[in-house]
Amino acid sequence: MRSAIEWLDDYSVSHQNPANKLLHWICVPVIVWCVIGLLWSVPVPAATYIPHVIANCGSLAVVGALIYYALLSVPLALGALPVLFAMLWSIERLEHSVSMPLWSVFATLFVVAWVGQFTGHAIERQRPSFFKDVQFLLIGPLWLLAALYRQLGIPF
């Protein structure tokens, strides 16, 4: 298995342009939030007696992502934990405050954020990394967190 550093270095190759980096700082968190929100919207029939906030596809995906991140880097997984939990919390709050179907909110924002991502890669003149390996879809959020760790001097 590749190390976190190897994944992040490989991801960085197609993310050098400042405009592309900025668009990633905006769009990657929105995409992650939308994916979790869309998965949150998927009904889980076996979870009749378990609260929806615990037993839904979005929560399960967060747990899976955190396990994957911990295999790559425990410090990065610990940093992702509050961010992902905050996303789950905000989705749960949003679910109770919008009158339209929750999935429609996330689907719309998801498309808009991906337009931003592809615009950044057009500016960069590089294909998105996930065209090379789909695992890069999980590396994008870690790349942002690793950049923050570097700024703060936190080892990962």
pTM to 2 decimals?
Answer: 0.91
Cβ contact 36:91 at 8 Å: yes
How many domains does the chain divide into? 1
Give Dmax (Cα) for the chain: 50
Residue 94 has pLDDT above 90, yes or no: yes
Q: Give the domain range for residue 112.
A: 4-152
pLDDT digit string, tens, across residues 12-53: 999 999 999 999 999 999 999 999 999 999 877 665 555 555
H helices present in the chain, as ranges: 4-12, 18-40, 57-72, 74-95, 102-124, 136-152
